[in-house]
Amino acid sequence: MPLVFSLALLILAMSLSTLLSMENSLEEGRGPQGVTLFMTIPLMVLIAALMLLMANRFGRGPKQLTADQYSIIALMMAMFIVGMLIEPAIPRLPELSDDLIGTIFLLVPTLLIALMIFPLGQKKFDEEE
């Protein structure tokens, strides 16, 4: 679990530095240059490694998919496709600052990932009497 947490923090730091570097270069009127151009490749490798670690977190044997898992997978795919389709149509609100919108876009996925890793529900323990 510490490896997963440290890998997630590394991905967050790399993506934030890449995002800030690209934003600054675009504000200056030029495109991303230098190391920023190639930062996405190691970032994608780290994300793939994190996904593999999370997939193998609960045992080494083959996983059997149940009907409940199919519905979750279908929901995740539908959310991704709908997000890709409606994202360009989201209007920019003029009264909110760009920093606030960017902060919201960073906090929402971070909080969702944290909730998936650290569930808040009560755990049931079977006790023998």
Q: What is the pLDDT along the chain (129 residues), one digit of tens a residue?
A: 788 788 888 888 888 888 888 777 777 777 767 777 777 778 888 887 777 777 666 555 566 666 666 777 677 777 777 777 777 777 766 666 767 777 887 888 788 777 776 666 655 655 555
- For the chain, what is the domain count? 1
Q: Is residue 74 domain-resident?
A: no
Task: For the beta carbon of residue 3, count every other beta carbon within 10 angstroms.
Answer: 10
Q: Is residue 3 domain-resident?
A: yes
| Confidence at residue 120, expressed as pLDDT on a 0 to 100 scale | 61
Query: Where in the sequence is the domain holding 23, given as residue range(s)?
Result: 1-58
Q: Is residue 6 domain-resident?
A: yes
* pTM of the full structure: 0.44
Q: Is residue 25 domain-resident?
A: yes
Residue 82 backbone phi and psi in degrees, to 5:
-65, -40
Q: Is residue 104 domain-resident?
A: no
Q: Is residue 32 domain-resident?
A: yes
| Confidence at residue 23, expressed as pLDDT on a 0 to 100 scale | 79
Instruction: Give the CA-trace dihedral at 99, 101, 105, 107, to 10 degrees.
Output: 70
C-alpha to C-alpha distance for 88 and 86, rounded to whole angstroms: 6
Q: Is residue 118 domain-resident?
A: no
Q: Is residue 111 domain-resident?
A: no
| Confidence at residue 24, expressed as pLDDT on a 0 to 100 scale | 79
| Confidence at residue 110, expressed as pLDDT on a 0 to 100 scale | 80
